[in-house]
Amino acid sequence: MENKNENRIPKIALIAVFCAVLFTLFVLMLALPKHAGEISPLEFRALASHPIKGKTAEKLETNIITGQFTKDVDKFLEDHFPGRSFLIALDSYYTRLTGRNADKSVVWGKNGRLFDAPLETDYEQADKNAAMIDRFAEANGLDSVFVVVPSSSVLCESELPLLHLDYHDAELQAHIAGVSGAQVPDLIGLYSAAGDCSPYFYRTDHHWTMDGAYLCYSELCGMLGEEPVSKDAFSVEGYDFRGSYYRKAGLWLTEPDVLEIWRAPQLEAAEVTIGAGESAVKHTGVYDGEKLEPGEVDRYAAYLYSNNGITVINNPEGNGRSLMIVKDSYGNSIAPLLAMNYSNIVMIDTRYYRDFFPMPSEFVREYGIDKLLVVMGGDSVTANSMLVYLR
């Protein structure tokens, strides 16, 4: 006859283990230090704030009534769950080992190189953006150059996994060249002719390296009527760097890239003004040294103090001319190279523009600008990048 007590023992043991795990997690949630509101060094985002601490009674009441309090509690528990970083990595590597490559919008390629998963290309929005840039250039009498920065996926194709979806960077570059009134350099052809893509694009980030920016800069100088400054004019510093792909993928064992800072006396002496009017902040030098300190998360933000609606670079030793750059974050690393030529560079990032800023056309008149350079990655070209501020 079957012994019922013997059958119950494994079940009781399982329940006991389950309860012990829950109790341990509960204790850890209470005991472990929280880092609410701090930037996660791995995910590069602010961790959720405490749902109660720091809230006024009125704010807490409103959050409870609207249901926001429940969402805040869920987010706080998620961000401060014991072993969160380990569990993210476990999930990411498990996903990779089971053959699913495009996890969390990141594709794991060969030689430790990460890529964005390809996205749908919105040509209708791309046409609108190109038209707004053309209207601004025509209204202000500007000769324009439109740089569509390709992703590493089309230039490092040999390092993509065997099975992957199609990327459309070449089609987008050709499309913009067909609809825009600006000159559109063939960067895909330029980088392809240069050979191995490794020096030109990071493995863990979507941006180009300084070598990649310099290759584009040399091409642009010919289109802008400038003489490119030799690489020998710069001294180079290198810093460990883990970029956007690394943060998205959760593949924490990936080796870091090297972010380079190209220094020159002109760049150290240049005056950089962020913003406009009474809120403007002035800096000396084109690099934010604080972002290069040990422990800093976003070292790419060292280039021209990250993304800002208006950034003006003044180089007293420049050629006496001024250039306007409409850009996304790709422009931050190429602008210091162009600042070696120009006396003034006015950078406009419409994603961060504000209604109280002067209209970009006012800067055109103030600095006597006659050339417009647009530097954007494909995702900005095909997204609503707030180019309506170009007026």
Model confidence pLDDT, tens digit, residues 201-236? 999 999 999 999 999 999 999 999 999 999 999 999
Q: How confident is the model at residue 68 (pLDDT cuts 50, 70, 90)?
A: confident
Question: What was the pLDDT predicted at 323?
Answer: 98
Residue 47: which domain range?
30-82
Confirm whether 63 is domain-assigned. Answer: yes
Q: Got the DSSP string for 289-347?
A: GGGGSTT-S-GGGGBTTS--SEEEEE-TTS-S-EEEEEESTTHHHHHHHHTTT-SEEEE
Mean pLDDT of the chain: 86
Task: Please check whether residues 75 and 133 belong to one and the same domain.
Answer: no
Confirm whether 119 is domain-assigned. Answer: yes
Assess whether pLDDT exceeds 60 at residue 33.
Answer: no
Q: Interior CA angle at 388 toward 387 and 389, to 5°?
A: 85
**Residue 18 host element (H or E):** helix 4-31
How far apart, in whole angstroms, are the C-alpha atoms of residue 247 and residue 257?
A: 13
Among residues 118, 121, 144, the alpha carbon closest in space to that of 131 is found at: 144
Task: Please check whether residues 218 and 332 belong to one and the same domain.
Answer: yes
Q: How confident is the model at residue 370 (pLDDT cuts 50, 70, 90)?
A: very high
Question: What was the pLDDT predicted at 361?
Answer: 97
Task: Please check whether residues 129 and 56 belong to one and the same domain.
Answer: no
**Residue 12 host element (H or E):** helix 4-31
Question: What was the pLDDT predicted at 84?
Answer: 62
Task: Please check whether residues 76 and 213 belong to one and the same domain.
Answer: no
Task: Please check whether residues 228 and 324 belong to one and the same domain.
Answer: yes
Residue 328 contacts residue 385 (beta carbons within 8 Å): yes
Q: How confident is the model at residue 93 (pLDDT cuts 50, 70, 90)?
A: low
| Top-confidence residue, 301 or 109 | 301
Instruction: Show which of 82, 97, 126 is a domain's final residue.
Output: 82
Question: What was the pLDDT predicted at 250?
Answer: 78
Assess whether pLDDT exceeds 60 at residue 264.
Answer: yes
Q: Which residues contact 16 (CB under 8 A, 6 or more apart)?
A: none
Q: How confident is the model at residue 112 (pLDDT cuts 50, 70, 90)?
A: confident
Assess whether pLDDT exceeds 80 at residue 138.
Answer: yes
Task: Please check whether residues 134 and 225 belong to one and the same domain.
Answer: yes
Number of Cβ within 10 Å of residue 131's Cβ equals 14
| Top-confidence residue, 71 or 140 | 140
Assess whether pLDDT exceeds 90 at residue 18.
Answer: no
Task: Please check whether residues 220 and 284 belong to one and the same domain.
Answer: yes
Lowest mean pLDDT among 168-172, 219-223, 248-252: 248-252
Question: What was the pLDDT predicted at 105?
Answer: 80
Considering only the C-alpha atoms of the chain, give the largest distance between any 2 of them, rounded to a whole number of Å. 100
Task: Please check whether residues 179 and 263 belong to one and the same domain.
Answer: yes
Question: What was the pLDDT predicted at 111?
Answer: 87
Assess whether pLDDT exceeds 80 at residue 86.
Answer: no
Instruction: Show which of 82, 102, 122 is a domain's final residue.
Output: 82
Lowest mean pLDDT among 252-256, 257-261, 348-352: 252-256
Q: How many domains, in total, are found in the chain?
A: 2
Assess whether pLDDT exceeds 50 at residue 53.
Answer: yes
| Top-confidence residue, 23 or 388 | 388
Centroid of chain to Cα 310: 17
Assess whether pLDDT exceeds 50 at residue 360.
Answer: yes
Residue 81 contacts residue 87 (beta carbons within 8 Å): yes
Confirm whether 91 is domain-assigned. Answer: no
Instruction: Tell me the angle at which helices 123-139 and 360-367 cross, rounded to the nearest 10 degrees.
Output: 40
Confirm whether 289 is domain-assigned. Answer: yes
Task: Please check whether residues 364 and 240 belong to one and the same domain.
Answer: yes
Assess whether pLDDT exceeds 80 at residue 22.
Answer: no
Q: Mean pLDDT throughout 46-73?
A: 72
Lowest mean pLDDT among 103-107, 238-242, 359-363: 103-107
Question: What was the pLDDT predicted at 261?
Answer: 98
Task: List, in sequence order, every residue forming a beta bridge with 102; answer none if it has no partner.
Answer: 107
Task: Please check whether residues 77 and 125 belong to one and the same domain.
Answer: no
Lowest mean pLDDT among 18-27, 246-255, 337-346: 18-27
Question: What was the pLDDT predicted at 1?
Answer: 47
Q: What are 147's two structure tokens?
A: 């740089």
Q: Mean pLDDT throughout 275-297?
A: 93
Confirm whether 24 is domain-assigned. Answer: no
**Strand, helix or coil for residue 9:** helix
Assess whether pLDDT exceeds 70 at residue 121.
Answer: yes
Whole-angstrom CA distances from 259 to 173, 223, 292, 341, 380 are: 27, 27, 10, 23, 23
Task: Please check whether residues 54 and 201 belong to one and the same domain.
Answer: no
Q: Mean pLDDT throughout 59-86?
A: 68
Query: What one-letter code names the amino acid at 320?
Result: G
| Top-confidence residue, 102 or 67 | 67
Lowest mean pLDDT among 203-212, 292-301, 362-371: 292-301
Task: Please check whether residues 169 and 255 belong to one and the same domain.
Answer: yes
